[in-house]
Amino acid sequence: MAAGFKTVEPLEYYRRFLKENCRPDGRELGEFRTTTVNIGSITTADGSALVKLGNTTVICGIKAEFAAPPTDAPDKGYVVPNVDLPPLCSSRFRSGPPGEEAQVASQFIADVIENSQIIQKEDLCISTGKLSWVLYCDIICLDYDGNILDACTFALLAALKNVQLPEVTINEETGLAEVNLKKKSYLNIRTHPVATSFAVFDDTLLIVDPTGEEEHLATGTLTVVMDEEGKLCCLHKPGGSGLTGAKLQDCMSRAVTRHKEVKKLMDEVIKSMKPK
């Protein structure tokens, strides 16, 4: 009977739960789904990570290649993110060129990398003006159940921490690059941006980590990306119902706690991986 009510009046069904300050899957309004992360699963990539946020599954693979540095910044390398939402993850995506959702997510990840200065592009330079690294970050969603931005940011961060670049020297006589695959070093990750997403309901209620159904019923969404010093890298609110300054303040405090949780989880995983 509840299933029938849910199909006919999904919003009313949801409101009944919100009145009791909980959600259909049993979570509190400020509770995240179980987060799991698996690092280094793709052996053909230079760095990889698989993140599961409840049912939402996202995998990030990073490949490093050579490229000539940009002419206006000869001492910098490139970081090129790309988010792919294939038809595999949800019935709302069709095959073909990337849809709007995928493009918006790619732009969001590019902005987070740029704003948070997660890696210094100067670290990616091998020889000024001649050779630099380009990191292709491919983020693919395997299962879409809401809150894709949080999962993508976490996957990217975990994968970057896993990337090992070989040592490259430029041979003086031939001018060619010599790669020493035996000597690899990790990237210097300067900050740890963590995204926290909220959904706005009925213009007043804020819930954390919305599932796919909740995102569909929500009247607005908000994503906050914070680093460890409490500085904001990105406040992404693409339209939707209005929010007051006080509500934003609540979101910030929740984002700070989430950052601590994620950082702890990642440190545990990295520590368990180190003796290889």
Partner 1 sequence: MEGAMLPDAKIRTESGTESGPRGPGCSLRHFACEQNLLSRPDGSASFLQGDTSVLAGVYGPAEVKVSKEIFNKATLEVILRPKIGLPGVAEKSRERLIRNTCEAVVLGTLHPRTSITVVLQVVSDAGSLLACCLNAACMALVDAGVPMRALFCGVTCALNSDGTLVLDPTAKQEKEARAVLTFALDSVEWKLLMSTTKGLYSDAELQQCLAAAQTASQHVFRFYRESLQRRYSKS
Binding site for partner 1 (CB under 8 A): 100, 103-104, 106-108, 111, 114-117, 219-220, 227, 230-245, 248-249, 252
Backbone angles phi, psi at 232, to 5 degrees: -95, 130
Q: How far is the CB of 153 from partner 1 (least distance, A)?
A: 15
Q: How far is the CB of 243 from partner 1 (least distance, A)?
A: 5
Q: How far apart are CA 201 and CA 52, in angstroms?
A: 25
Closer residue to partner 1, CB minimum distance, 128 or 204: 204
The answer for residues whose C-beta is within 8 angstroms of residue 270's C-beta and 6 or more apart is 39, 161
**Residue 259: its H or E element:** helix 245-273
Q: How far is the CB of 244 from partner 1 (least distance, A)?
A: 6
Q: How far is the CB of 204 from partner 1 (least distance, A)?
A: 11
Closer residue to partner 1, CB minimum distance, 27 or 76: 76
Are the beta carbons of 163 and 77 closer than 8 angstroms?
A: no
Residue whose entry in the numeric block shows the structure tokens 């950082």: 263
Q: How far apart are CA 264 and CA 258, in angstroms?
A: 10
Closer residue to partner 1, CB minimum distance, 37 or 194: 194
Closer residue to partner 1, CB minimum distance, 122 or 228: 228
> What count of residues does the chain have?
276
